[in-house]
Structure 1
Amino acid sequence: MTNSQNNPGINSNNINSDPFLIQEDEKVFELLNPPNANLSKLDEISGMIAYAHYSIQKHQFVKGCQQSQGKMPTEDALKSLIFSFQNENNAALSALKIQSKILLNQYAQEYLEKGIYQEILEPIEKVIEKRTSFWSAIGTNLFGSVIYSFVIALIVFTTTAAVPNTKFSRIFKILMEESPNPTYPANPKEKK
């Protein structure tokens, strides 16, 4: 008599020690990490992570059965779950592979960003903090303001001199308290 005939549920201590289940798990591992294949290190790690995801799904299946039914899943139910991952062209197996590659890419991106910050940006920030003080920042801003004002004044004077009869030029001449050359008299009575 097998364990499933004695007990309709699998003993939680026996879930990972049943020789048949171990053998079936090995088949899933070999599908995710083919032996004698010239895999890159990235593919090897990806396969191992995919197998870890498979183990997590199996564990979640067992926990779900415990919570919903109040007992461990039957051996047949667990075999059915394992068999669902044993076809090389299976969507569940493909999803594990894709999920592991996504996880590796996210980790690599996070590691790269953290490495760039620690190796490049952090030293630059420290140099800037050392060389930047309150008074030097004020001096820099004051110098920038003077340069900006000079450029604006240069543009205004150049525009006024180049085109003296525009409204802008007249407004500028009034503001500078020069008498503009009106094209019409200011007071019509003075026209005599």
Structure 2
Amino acid sequence: METNANVSQGQIIAEVQCWLQEVVIGLNLCPFAARPTKSGQVAFVVSEARAEEALLEDLQAQLEKLEATSATELETTLLIVPHMLQDFMDYNLYLHWVDQLVARRGWEGEFQVATFHPDYQFEGTSAEDSENLTNRSPYPTFHLLREASLEKMLARFPGSDEIPENNIRRMNQLTDGEKQKLFPYLYSP
């Protein structure tokens, strides 16, 4: 399944920004997301790739941009993939190529790629389990993170090891109405 061709890059970015504000920041799923978002240090990039090689080129270009730009100017990038990897299994398999790119370029320990997908499912869960909502974004998305920044934030945040459990608890507390409001792309007719 591919995104409707009539949806503009601006609309796609607006949907992801809304998800970031209302879900990730609004529910405090990531206590580190608010500061760089408010400071304008988060890049939202839509990949027009429709082939695996082209998407790898986009990933590489965005990682190179992070490498060449100071964290005070650009902390992190969300690379949004609206035209491919709609199937979560395909997305998951593609992560092998992402890992290979990071390793081949010597970026291990420098960059980390967090993953989000409309059908995200943690291992050992059922597709309908609420905890999967923590990683369900409007489009397949790769979150490109600086490991040094992540380590600094984790060191400053007491109880950071409890974030996943707190997020699961928060997702399980949502009512059906709240889920429909926060995740309209999952619950639309």
TM-score bin, normalised by smaller chain: under 0.3
TM-score, normalisation: structure 1 = 0.26
| Greater RCO, CA 8 A, separation 6+ | 2
* Superposition TM-score, scaled by structure 2 size: 0.27
Q: Which structure would you say has the larger Rg?
A: 1
